[in-house]
């Protein structure tokens, strides 16, 4: 038999999930390298270093690692892409609340694709992740073992702000597509997994669950055990009965449809105040707005014929109250407020934007 020489290699094999999530990372502006020098580290310059496969826990994978880091980036905000380790302090408990928010985001994003267990974190915070209820954005009694009530509430607020970012570039549509395609692969592979009760641990692919249906709004359906699952569109604070418009999705819907996962109860301005305290840095107005004459000391010139009521750190100087039942938010100049404020309506798209920015809605 004659030797034919070395065979030319034209292609190389890649794990399917690795290919999806490496491409997802690239589309987010991240370069992933594998190194035993770090378990997970971000240099603030676009390079994400992750441990090689042999150094990971048996129920970890590259997809889960990249997904977890993307959720950190969502919680930390756009500036985090220019900070080492997303601006987090990994040596003290300073940023524990942000870690909890990250896990809420991870559960909320993965759950509709049946990937909540499959892409679960395996760090020391796994116990908290497992304590999350059917709705990861609702504080459960079991979570009190991990943080104070105020810390848990803050983690929900941060998570909602992060989920709002997931709907926008650079995360959208890439993160959604990576989760969707992971679910498609998982659905196929699970059929080939041989379940053996005597085998411990079992295959991680067994944890793949059914993907949630898509609601007519374009959002997903809620978890069957969540509060939203027992509601209809007409009871949502962002559904307008007269026009049958969903102001979250921007579409007309049948009011009797089952609610989507983003359902919210009726809104109370006195307990919210998002539009007047954090969401916007100024209220612009024209020179003939009656507010200009009545409150000249608060109006500043912004050029091009535009005047504005500026807000230091986002809060309007005319807003009083603290949002509590016994001290609701109120406007000290409500009857002569600027036209922009008059046109701002509860439950409409601008109201939704304000609540998104402050972590009250997602």
Strand order in the sheet with 239-240: 239-240, 245-246, 251-252
Q: Give tens-digit pLDDT for 49-68.
A: 999 999 998 899 999 999 99
Over residues 304-313, mean pLDDT: 84
CA distance 83 to 98: 15
Over residues 124-146, mean pLDDT: 93
Q: Give tens-digit pLDDT for 94-123.
A: 999 999 999 999 999 999 999 999 999 987
pLDDT score of 250 more than 60 = yes
Provide the mean pLDDT of the chain: 93
Three-state secondary structure readout of 208-255? CCCCCCECCCCCECCCCCCHHHHCEHHHCCCEECCCCEECCCCEECCC
The pTM for the full model equals: 0.89
Residue-level pLDDT at 204:
92
pLDDT score of 283 more than 60 = yes
67 versus 323: which is more confidently predicted? 67
Residue-level pLDDT at 302:
78
Instruction: At 143, give phi and psi (nearest 5°).
Output: -70, -15
Over residues 344-350, mean pLDDT: 94
Residue-level pLDDT at 314:
81
CA distance 170 to 159: 17
pLDDT score of 151 more than 80 = yes
pLDDT score of 1 more than 60 = no
Residue-level pLDDT at 278:
86
Of 102-106, 221-225, 322-326, least confident by mean pLDDT is 322-326
Q: Residue 310 — very low, low, confident or very high, per pLDDT cuts 50/70/90?
A: confident
Residue-level pLDDT at 84:
96
Over residues 321-349, mean pLDDT: 93
Over residues 288-299, mean pLDDT: 93
pLDDT score of 3 more than 70 = no
**Cα separation values, 337 from 61, 295, 309, Å:** 55, 10, 10
The domain limits of the chain are: 16-177, 269-345
| Complete DSSP assignment for 175-220 | HHHHHHHHHHHHHHHHTT----TT-SSPPGGGG--PPPPBPTTSSB
Question: What DSSP element (H or E) covers 97?
Answer: helix 96-110
| Complete DSSP assignment for 101-161 | HHHHHHHHHHGGGT-TTTT---STTHHHHHH--SSTTS--GGGGGTS-HHHHHHHHHHHHH
Of 7-11, 213-217, 244-248, least confident by mean pLDDT is 7-11
pLDDT score of 305 more than 90 = no
């Amino acid at each position: 038999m004659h030797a034919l020489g070395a065979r030319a290699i034209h292609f190389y094999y890649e794990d399917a999930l690795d290919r999806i999530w490496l491409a997802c990372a690239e589309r987010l502006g991240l370069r992933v390298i594998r190194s035993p020098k770090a378990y997970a580290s971000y240099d603030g310059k676009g390079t994400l270093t992750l441990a090689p496969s042999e150094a990971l826990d048996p129920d970890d994978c590259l997809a889960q690692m990249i997904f977890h880091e993307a959720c950190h980036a969502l919680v930390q905000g756009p500036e985090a892409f220019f900070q080492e380790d997303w601006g987090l302090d990994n040596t003290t408990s300073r940023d524990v609340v942000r870690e909890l928010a990250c896990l809420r985001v991870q559960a909320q994003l993965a759950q509709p694709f049946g990937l909540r267990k499959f892409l679960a974190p395996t760090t020391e915070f796994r116990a908290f992740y497992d304590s999350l209820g059917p709705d990861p954005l609702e504080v459960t009694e079991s979570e009190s073992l991990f943080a104070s009530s105020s810390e848990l509430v803050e983690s929900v607020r941060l998570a909602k702000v992060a989920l709002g970012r997931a709907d926008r570039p650079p995360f959208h549509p890439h993160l959604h597509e990576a989760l969707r395609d992971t679910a498609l692969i998982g659905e196929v592979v699970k059929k080939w997994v041989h379940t053996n009760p005597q085998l411990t641990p079992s295959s991680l692919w067994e944890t793949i669950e059914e993907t949630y249906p898509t609601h007519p709004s374009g959002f997903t359906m809620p978890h069957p055990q969540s509060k939203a699952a027992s509601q209809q569109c007409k009871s949502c604070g962002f559904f307008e009965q007269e026009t049958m418009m969903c102001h979250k999705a921007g579409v007309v819907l049948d009011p009797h449809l089952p609610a989507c996962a983003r359902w919210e109860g009726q809104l109370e301005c006195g307990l919210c105040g998002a539009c007047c305290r954090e969401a916007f840095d100024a209220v612009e107005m024209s020179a003939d707005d009656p507010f200009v004459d009545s409150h000249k000391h608060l109006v500043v010139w912004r050029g091009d014929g535009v005047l504005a009521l500026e807000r230091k750190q986002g809060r309007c100087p005319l807003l009083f109250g603290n949002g509590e039942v016994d001290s609701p938010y109120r406007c000290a100049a409500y009857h002569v407020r600027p036209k922009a404020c008059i046109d701002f309506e509860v439950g409409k798209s601008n109201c939704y934007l304000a609540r998104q920015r402050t972590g009250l809605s997602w």
